[in-house]
């Protein structure tokens, strides 16, 4: 496996793992016809399984975007 591909695979997250960073994630289905290709997750959430491909789905951070409540200016 080439180094770039290996790094991309290492950065993929599995269902049940905790979201490390808030943002938009690519949703990588395993032989699934789901239309969901991107999803937004907040740091600390648990990544869900897909209803069709189950635990074989993977998630990869596309763009880190902080949630509004992660900004000190907007918290109580």
What is the average per-residue pLDDT within 8-18? 86
Cα(73)–Cα(70) distance, integer angstroms: 9
Give me the residues paired with residue 25 across strands: 39, 61
- 76 belongs to a structural domain: no
What is the average per-residue pLDDT within 67-74? 84
Distances (CA, A) of 65 to 5, 31, 38: 24, 29, 14
- 54 belongs to a structural domain: yes
- 64 belongs to a structural domain: yes
- 75 belongs to a structural domain: no
Q: How many domains are contained in the chain? A: 1
- 21 belongs to a structural domain: yes
Range of the domain at 18: 3-68
> Which among 16, 3, 13, 21 has a CA at the least distance from the CA of 66?
21
- 73 belongs to a structural domain: no
Model pLDDT, residue 47:
98
Q: What is the band of 24 on the pLDDT scale with cuts at 50, 70, 90?
A: very high
- 33 belongs to a structural domain: yes
Cα(76)–Cα(1) distance, integer angstroms: 48
- 74 belongs to a structural domain: no
């Amino acid at each position: 496996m080439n180094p770039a591909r290996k790094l991309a695979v290492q950065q993929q997250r599995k269902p049940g793992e905790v979201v490390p960073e808030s943002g938009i994630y690519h949703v990588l289905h395993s032989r699934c016809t789901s239309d969901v290709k991107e999803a937004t997750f907040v740091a600390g959430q648990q990544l869900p399984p897909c209803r069709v491909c189950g635990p074989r789905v993977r998630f990869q951070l596309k763009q880190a975007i902080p949630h509004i409540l992660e900004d000190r200016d907007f918290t109580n």
